[in-house]
Chains A and B, each alone.
Chain A
């Protein structure tokens, strides 16, 4: 009796994606991604034919990615809560967990695929082989950062219920962390990227003359850099998920 329609989940997801594709939003995401990559590749230290270009100026990509992701998730969560759109959707025969997860997966997929595609421009700009392992390490770190921003902005969205406030608050929080902590801290996106990049640099390019970090990062440092955001993401998303599905009042 309490069965959900098995296709409801995918329909909600397609709906969310279609909502994004309809607006000028998609154009904005794509443009922001391309701009981010172009700024990055014109960094002054740019070496030709070097994977090091992937590291240089990555903070710009992270910054713009943070801004876009905060805006998008705040719009989708706080925006639809504040405007009453969520109220309408939750009045249809859908389960709350379906609405929550479909929103997160759909938006993450969109942002990630756009940014990953734009990032492949780097292969061309720096004349790298498509098999360059550091390219995939960079994309992975980007994905990790995306998840973190997603969790933070969803959490703040549900707490503040105002699109503008939540965009600002989550962006300022993440941007503030990046500003307050430098490239040798697990708390800044740049710091985590540096550790991960530096560790894998030794693994894949042990004989390369230039190392981004002296001494190079250890496996443990790389691991903590990966685990920290994942841990925060898990805690925040599980907490918000439980609240959203069991307690949250929509009015």
Chain B
């Protein structure tokens, strides 16, 4: 039963008149969990509550089965965090800073641990430079190192790949995956860059306007959503889209480029209808396929908007 590391029930948080979290029921099991949602959907607020930095207005939040506000110290002892904003003491060298953090976690073998971490995140070459001279990518890597320093059971990373070039992103994500495989560290990664998560996550949480829209194992979700999405290429997408919009089997239609996409509720019937409609409208049906679920489609369907 204690499979879920993170669990919130009906979690509420308001800032004055702004409702940041609205009955949030979120779960994250062992493994690498992706936490996705638009800007302002409540990701950072949720993370703040999980760490005991922010107090909720209602509902419960637990990590490792412990209450996030009252037992936050014990939770933080077993968890590492990398926040959205990276503020590190600029005058310290990366190495010296990590030694300081290691001491707070009460690590016995400080220097070997720090050196290994620096190597793992690929920062050894800059370990003696003052942090203020680091680039954005180096900041993120230092952030990852300080999150992983206490060999945490779980590390929360808030937008770890923001501001990083594509190559740096791939390297960082690979590091995260390596860490999971090497030390069994579990991750909760918040982001709005979907392609990032596709490669490494096994669990996905989608949040919108302070509510969970869907969550589950990646492969279950892709199956669930892929079956109902179609991509159709016809000679006149506009006319075609307008026509199928009226069908009962079709929930939603949108056009991207010269392709028509639609979400259907009865694939069997729809499969047979498409060629008929095309010939009736005297349109040429170039291609017609059920989508393989990618994160982008899941996201588009749940949050209902093109991802950023």
Residues of A within 8 A of B (CB): 1-2, 4-5, 7-8, 11-12, 15, 18-19, 22-23, 80, 83-85, 87-88, 90-95, 247, 249-251
Query: Which of A4, A90, A247 gathers the greatest number of chain B CB atoms within 10 Å?
Result: A90
Q: Smallest Cβ distance from A181 to chain B, in angstroms? A: 38
Contact A249 B85 (CB under 8 A): no
Within the complex, which residue of B54, B81, B89 is in contact with A250, where a contact is CB–CB below 8 Å?
B54
CB neighbours of A91 from chain B (8 A): 51, 53, 76, 81, 83
> Top 6 A-B pairs ranked by shortest CB distance?
A22-B91, A93-B77, A84-B85, A5-B106, A85-B87, A91-B81
Question: Which bucket holds chain B's interface residue count?
Answer: 20 to 34
- CA distance in complex: A22, B85 (Å): 22
CB neighbours of B216 from chain A (8 A): none
In the complex formed, the residue of A with least CB distance to B13 is A249
Contact B54 A92 (CB under 8 A): no
Contact A23 B73 (CB under 8 A): no
- CA distance in complex: A18, B44 (Å): 30
Contact B100 A87 (CB under 8 A): no
In the complex formed, the residue of A with least CB distance to B51 is A91
Within the complex, which residue of B45, B91, B104 is in contact with A23, where a contact is CB–CB below 8 Å?
B91
> A1-B74, A93-B76, A249-B54 given as contacts; is B87 within 8 A of A11 (CB)?
no
CB neighbours of A92 from chain B (8 A): 76, 101, 104-105
In the complex formed, the residue of B with least CB distance to A90 is B53
- CA distance in complex: A15, B100 (Å): 8
CB neighbours of A250 from chain B (8 A): 48, 53-54
The answer to the question of B150 belonging to the interface, with a C-beta cut-off of 8 Å to chain A, is: yes
In the complex formed, the residue of B with least CB distance to A10 is B103
Complex A-B: 23 CB contacts under 8 Å = A2-B71, A5-B104, A5-B106, A7-B106, A8-B104, A11-B100, A23-B91, A85-B87, A87-B83, A88-B88, A90-B53, A91-B83, A92-B105, A93-B73, A93-B77, A93-B106, A93-B150, A94-B76, A249-B48, A249-B54, A251-B48, A251-B53, A251-B54
- CA distance in complex: A44, B76 (Å): 59
In the complex formed, the residue of A with least CB distance to B77 is A93
Q: Smallest Cβ distance from B90 to chain A, in angstroms? A: 9
- List 15 additional contacts besides A19-B89, A80-B87; criterion CB under 8 Å: A1-B74, A12-B104, A15-B100, A19-B91, A23-B91, A83-B87, A84-B85, A87-B83, A88-B81, A88-B87, A91-B53, A91-B76, A93-B150, A247-B55, A250-B53
- CA distance in complex: A29, B51 (Å): 36
The answer to the question of B92 belonging to the interface, with a C-beta cut-off of 8 Å to chain A, is: yes
- CA distance in complex: A87, B47 (Å): 12
- CA distance in complex: A251, B104 (Å): 21
- CA distance in complex: A247, B48 (Å): 14
- CA distance in complex: A130, B94 (Å): 45
- CA distance in complex: A17, B267 (Å): 67
CB neighbours of B89 from chain A (8 A): 19, 22, 85
CB contact list, B87-132 vs A, under 8 A: 87-89, 91-92, 100-101, 103-106
In the complex formed, the residue of B with least CB distance to A94 is B104
CB neighbours of B54 from chain A (8 A): 249-251
- CA distance in complex: A84, B44 (Å): 13
Contact A249 B55 (CB under 8 A): yes
Q: Smallest Cβ distance from A106 to chain B, in angstroms? A: 14
CB neighbours of A83 from chain B (8 A): 85, 87
- CA distance in complex: A149, B53 (Å): 28
CB neighbours of A15 from chain B (8 A): 100
- CA distance in complex: A250, B100 (Å): 22
In the complex formed, the residue of B with least CB distance to A247 is B55
